Amino acid sequence: MTLSDSGPDSAHRRPDSASDETIAALGKLSEALEVVEHARGYLYGFHRLTGKADLALGEAVGMLRAAGHEALAAEIDAEIVGRNVIEGRWTFQIVEDYDANYYRAFVAAEDRARQELVDGKRHLFEAEMKEDRRTHGRRHHEARPADVEDRTDG
């Protein structure tokens, strides 16, 4: 099998006008966006888990009623089932507010920076890091999938 060392594809090659400092800054901006994406995932997890807990609580209230504990069931039902998790808000409203007021603005800022500085190309910092760290000419260290002629390991 012959491996090519042609480097990253054109979508992952920096424009001639982009300095090392620009690529590093965009890499840091991308890193920050990845953290926001991670946080957003936790927020959606919080939303789903809180909703699941509220539904299970409703079932528990029904079970308490069926077991003859009407007063306790009524108190829990009135005080906790369907309760706002933050003043005036259920979790879906928190998610919507995060998306509208922070997440979308962050994504737009990162996109604008890439559009203005590197023709919209993504992950240039990482592509250059890969070029620096991989063992050129070695199987499983190819620059890109198209560089593998025979993908069977036997």
Per-residue pLDDT reduced to its tens digit, 6-17: 788 999 999 999
3-state secondary structure of 154: coil
Q: How far is residue 14's CA from residue 81's CA, in Å, rounded to a whole number?
A: 54
Q: 120, 10 in Cβ contact below 8 A?
A: no
Q: How far is residue 144's CA from residue 129's CA, in Å, rounded to a whole number?
A: 14
Convert the pLDDT of each residue in 20-31 to its tens digit.
Answer: 999 999 999 999
3-state secondary structure of 69: coil
Q: 26, 113 in Cβ contact below 8 A?
A: yes
Q: Decide if pLDDT at 2 tops 50.
A: no
Q: Decide if pLDDT at 146 tops 60.
A: yes
* pTM for this model (two decimals): 0.81
